[in-house]
Structure 1
Amino acid sequence: MNAETDLEACRAAIRTGSHSFHAASRLLPARVRDPALALYAFCRLADDAVDEVADKGPAVLRLRDRLAAIYNGFPFDAPADRAFARVVERFDMPRALPEALLEGFAWDAQDRRYATLSDLRAYSARVASTVGAMMCVLMEVRDRDALARACDLGVAMQLTNIARDVGEDARAGRLYLPTEWLDEAGLASDAFLSEPTASPAVRAMTRRLLGEATRLYHRSEAGVAALPLAARPGILAARHAYAGIGTAVARSGHDSVTSRAVTSSAAKLRWLGLSLVQSAWITTMPRSPILHAAPLAETAFLVEAAADPRPARSGWGESLISALAQLEATDREHGPDVAAP
């Protein structure tokens, strides 16, 4: 398959799998949009490969093998893998970034729960801020301040997703609300999962998640001025589209148990227009001092990995090795996995 055929397969995956990103990507310049589609398609399909199967451990281990093949220069025979391999080579993508994403998937496979908001931010850093950091690499932005704000945006987006999907996740046996919040409200985690309800306490937790997301959306905007001019509208569009999901959750009384918030095509068009205007306005304004705020403690390792194209030397990778080792041990207990990649 040639590069254009692989890229078209990535476009098709994004059109059906992520309407918000597909809409926002139209505002990116082609030199960023095409590799971004390849990046996002690989991440989206990898997420689906884990999320849509009952036995997640073997799925994560297959992703580990796929990622290793990409970095060894021999990607699996799949459009998204081949397209992402070209991106890795062209932009010298630090391996620590997609490996952090893989660690987040491993945490999901372990059905990990998160005691505190900080723990939840650490998870969000892996499954969402990694994409923001990789997008910066595609835009050839390695400045630590800009990377920190991109990671803020990733955490904000993931917290918004979690707030939107409280009921859907609970019915699937997944819990992302910080367990100490449930404890403070006198709610047992397992009892909530067995019978999720939109109680005042659960609505308050959803509102609290969205409050943290809003704070991080505002912080993230300071980094937009550090991005290439042509890329700013697309990043702002993604920011507004995801924040709009949070607004829809709030409009429902923060009840994301009995309903799932959606946004209209008309709203997406308004956000696209707003993003174009805002990107031009940002150009005329002095840079916000928030740009230089320290990264979240939970995303600092991503900032360092993306800022320096050499292999990251921080100790975070030990937890990835540990998580994968646990999955392999579990896999051996249940027999060999023979599914195709």
Structure 2
Amino acid sequence: MSRSERTPNAVSLQELDFDSQDLQACVAMMQGGSKTFFAASRLLPPRVRTAAIALYAFCRVADDLVDEAAAGDTPLDVLQKRLDAIYAGTPHDHVEDHALSLVVQQYKLPRHLLDALIEGFAWDAGGRTYDSIEDLHAYGARVAGSVGAMMSWIMGPQSMDTLARACELGVAMQLTNIARDVGHDASIGRLYLPRRWLVEAGVQPEAWMAQPTFTPAIALVVTRLLDEADRLYKQAHSGIAALPPDCRAAICAASMIYAEIGHQLRREGLDSVNKRTVVSTTRKLMLLASAWTQVHWIRVADHNPEPLAAIVGLVQGCRDAAQQTGNKAYFPNRAMPQRVAWMLNLFERRETERLDRNALRQNS
């Protein structure tokens, strides 16, 4: 969208340094796209919300540019040139480019995360196939794990473990999307279900793509995919507790609403070939309220699991970027009771770790 095509102001948000009309145009894109992201974004603090909206707008436009490209177009080259200009501080005359340029400048957003996102779009454009769940992890890491890392970076760069959990949450959400959109993807010639799983269930991928139908075998593969998504939601959950306190409810809500898509799909019989599962507005509101309550009880895991192999490169790139830019972790201002509680929790964790080490020595 060019700046001359901006929509009039419609939603009031704190804007930081963003141009008012640019921001409203980005909001309009988000309202017309991901309803889940828009709902969860209302829980984000103003310091993060505007940057998140700008990031979403660019991702949405980039995805559409690749999906809607005509024969002979070179959308990936166009996107790379637009990113080059954004990082040079001379964005092209598009609303989303100007908005993202401000995010890049303000937060020193690592370029490799956006490059990974565009690489994922390139995989779509090239008709890439996915034989194993690990192959699908690699795709999810690019098109969604990268976004999770960028959101975490904008909120305030945490430890590499926190960034890993953010990437894994993005991958979990992407697996949910794939499980929900089997029929739609097939209608545009795309198959994301792991081909090995299909063959193991007795389905020949090419024959099925020629005539997509819902069968018990497809239900079995969709179930396996939802099980893997649930595993990653669980693994990522503790990372929410390591985010800045004013951001936790929004991410918890997004996680719960996306996971609910999978739960609803199960309740509906797992048929994502003939219909697309939707979580009702009423249910979303209930989950938003539940997230606001539950987030206070989430705790950082005592022992962080090994990160998903597919997201290791994204996290390492963030580590390198933090060292180069001197970007520091966000440490929120806390009232005195919160500081005391935080310190007590820290001492308790340290004491537990000490006791565990002593027990290991005695048993060795």
* 1:301 aligned partner: 313
| Match for residue 88 of structure 2 among 45, 69, 72 | 72
Say whether the 8 Å CA contact 2:44–2:250 is kept in structure 1: yes
CA distance in 1, matches of 2:22, 2:187: 36
What is the deviation of 1:310? Answer: 5.7
In the alignment, which of 259, 265, 271 is matched to residue 243 of structure 1? Answer: 259
Equivalent position SS for 2:232: helix
Cα 1:276–1:56 shift into 2, 3 Å: farther
1:57 deviates by: 6.2
The reply to whether residue 53 of structure 1 matches residue 65 of structure 2 is no
Tell me the distance in 1 between the aligned counterparts of 2:61 and 2:154: 19
The amino acid that maps onto 1:275 is A
Alignment deviations for residues 272-321 of structure 1 (CA, whole Å, 9 cap, x no partner): 10110011223xxx53225x212111001111112332699xxxxxxxxx
Normalising by structure 1, we get a TM-score of 0.87
| Bigger mean CA deviation after superposition, 103-112 or 187-196 | 187-196
Rate the CA distance shift 1:159–1:276 in 2: closer, same or farther, 3 A: same
CA RMSD of aligned residues (A): 1.6
Distance 1:22 1:145 in 2: 26
Q: Is the 8 A contact 1:57 1:109 kept in 2?
A: no
1:194 maps to amino acid: A
Aligned residue type for 1:103: E
Q: How many residues align?
A: 308
Q: Could you tell me whether the CA contact under 8 Å between 1:142 and 1:306 is conserved in 2?
A: no
SS of 1:299 mapped into structure 2: helix
Offset from partner CA, 1:42-86 (integer Å, 9 cap, x none): 111211211233549612221111111111111111111100010
TM-score, with normalisation over the residues of structure 2? 0.82
Provide the rounded CA distance (Å) in 1 between the counterparts of 2:323 and 2:163: 17
| Counterparts of 2:318 and 2:177, CA distance in 1 | 24
Which one scores higher on RCO, CA 8 angstroms, separation ≥ 6?
1
Please tell me the residue identity of whatever aligns with 1:47: D
Does residue 1:279 correspond to 2:295, yes or no? yes
| Distance (whole Å) between structure 2 residues aligned to residue 277 and residue 57 of structure 1 | 48
Q: 1:209 is matched with which residue: 209, 219, 225?
A: 225
The aligned counterpart of 1:163 is 179
Larger CA Rg, structure 1 vs 2? 2
Alpha-carbon distance in 2 for matches of 1:130, 1:250: 28
Name structure 1 gaps, 5 residues minimum: 313-341
User: Residue type matched to 2:275 in 1?
Assistant: S
Contact 2:201 2:221 in 1 (8 A): no
**Alignment-mate amino acid for residue 216 of structure 1:** L
2:305 counterpart of 1:289: no
Structure 2 match to 1:187: 203
Residues 24 and 235 of structure 1 are in contact (CA less than 8 Å); yes or no, is this contact kept in structure 2? Answer: yes
Is 1:178 aligned with 2:190?
Answer: no
Q: Any idea what the Cα deviations from partners look like across 1:171-220, whole Å, max 9, x if unmatched?
A: 11001011111222332222111111111111100010000000110111
User: 1:90: which partner in 2?
Assistant: 106
State whether structure 2 residue 55 is matched by structure 1 residue 39: yes
Identity of aligned residues (%): 50
How many Å separate the matches in 2 of 1:248 and 1:56?
40
8 Å CA contact retained: 1:170, 1:192? no
Match runs of 1:217-232 below 5 Å: 217-232=233-248
- Secondary structure of the residue that 2:74 maps to in structure 1? helix
Counterpart of 1:24?
Answer: 40
In structure 2, relative to structure 1, the CA distance for the partners of 1:50 and 1:23 (3 Å cut) is same
Local SS of the residue matching 1:262: coil
Give the conservation status (yes or no) of the 8 Å contact 1:100–1:126. Answer: yes
Confirm or deny: 8 A CA contact 2:40 2:254 kept in the other structure. yes
Sort the Cα spacing of 1:254 and 1:55 in 2 relative to 1 into closer, same or farther, 3 A.
Answer: farther
Shift in CA distance, 15/248, structure 1 to aligned 2, threshold 3 Å: same
Q: Sort the Cα spacing of 1:231 and 1:173 in 2 relative to 1 into closer, same or farther, 3 A.
A: same
Q: Distance in 2 between matches of 1:191 and 1:281?
A: 48
Q: 1:18 to 1:121 in 2, by over 3 A?
A: same
Aligned counterparts of 2:316 and 2:30: Cα–Cα separation in 1? 29
Give the unaligned 5+ runs of structure 2.
Answer: 4-17, 325-364
